[in-house]
Amino acid sequence: MQSDTDRQIFHSIMDELNWDSRVCAVDIVVDVTAGIVHLSGAVPDTDQRLCAEAMVKMVAGVRSVQSSLRVESAGMASGTSGQNALVRRIHQALSGLGCVNAEAIQVCVEGGWVKLSGLVGTQTQRQHWVWMLQKLLGIREVMEVLGAGRY
């Protein structure tokens, strides 16, 4: 379980990566433990890898950055490995919210669509998850089959 500080660092990093148009962050996976950030996944070119690493180093609270980002062409990153990375990133983002059981949500990425299914605590949480995926992660199409109730 992440500490509150690590969660704040994670959200700040995600905000930076998603805000800056110099980086296509859809296949970047971020993990924060005790202020140490590990970047993994893929970016389309070396400039984006260097930019992402530099941006993360500038986030308040980051003690160090360990990067294993790979440079892959857009065609390579959008295949199955890119979809798997996106599923991991979505689960990571949802877990970072801390208000719901992210493991109870199934995520499927197929044909450019993200499908969420499962049960969340409230209707507000359901709406927040969909909004977060669309706005913060830059996902254009979300099909959600989320119910609200006890999970």
Query: What pTM value is reported for the model?
Result: 0.52
Residue-wise pLDDT for 86-98, tens only, equals 777 777 777 766 5
pLDDT of residue 76: 42
Residue-wise pLDDT for 43-87, tens only, equals 877 888 899 999 999 999 999 999 999 887 544 444 566 667 777
Q: Can you tell me the distance from the alpha carbon of 8 to that of 61, in angstroms, rounded to the nearest whole number?
A: 9
Report in angstroms the alpha-carbon separations of 145 from 36, 105, 111, 137: 35, 10, 17, 19
Residue-wise pLDDT for 108-133, tens only, equals 776 567 777 777 777 777 777 777 77
Q: Can you tell me the distance from the alpha carbon of 84 to that of 77, in angstroms, rounded to the nearest whole number?
A: 10
Task: Evaluate whether 62 touches 56 at the Cβ level (below 8 Å).
Answer: yes
